[in-house]
Amino acid sequence: MAKLYFRYGAVGSAKTLNLLAVAHNYRQQQKRVLIIKPGLDTRFGASQVRSRAGLEQEADVVLHAGDQIDESRLAGVDCLLVDEAQFLEARVIDQLRHVAIEFRIPVICYGLRTDYRRRLFPGSQRLLELADSIEEVKTTCAFCNKKAIYNLKMVAGRAVPPDDLGPVVDLGCEEKYLPTCAGCYAAKISRADG
């Protein structure tokens, strides 16, 4: 049976780079992959999947709010790769579970586990509930050498506290989010509050 995988990590942990490497490996073996991304992620263009290392590729499917995957496109597909899965609706994650079971296609989802407030994204929550395999893609804290587990949001050089009333989804890269360990997250937030 094919599996539903969730590979999560803090910002900057090379999740998209990993996705693009997996796509390359499948294609090297003459296998067909379908790359999916949420339409909400427009940082590099409407349909671009791009790693911070500079590698990029067009998504085959861009899902907007209310969309589902057109299952007629799955014929002959050997693997589904999903970027920024945290932004998908729970019902799309349910459909990905269905695809792995009924179509016997492995589905590998990459994304953040939590937002800058340290709360689960809805898509990530559903993946944690349904995935056959949950793997952490590790990176180090931006301020020390410990493992990063949180995403620290920065505005004008200051940490944004988790009780901030600003938008939860606020697209950005290194200029806005930094990977942190629990200790550095707490230290930066306490300075922002003080």
Q: What are phi and psi of 182, to 5 degrees?
A: -65, -40
The CA distance from 155 to 66, in Å, is 31
Determine whether 129 is an active site residue: no
Amino acid at the residue 114: T
Q: What is the CB neighbour count within 10 angstroms for residue 30?
A: 7
SS (H, E, C) 47-61: CEEECCCCCEEECCE
Does residue 118 sit in helix, strand or coil?
A: coil
- From 71, 84, 89, 102, active-site residue: 84
Q: Are 28 and 74 in contact (CB under 8 A)?
A: no
Q: Which residue has the tokens 């990063």?
A: 148
Q: Would you name the residues annotated as active-site residues?
A: 84
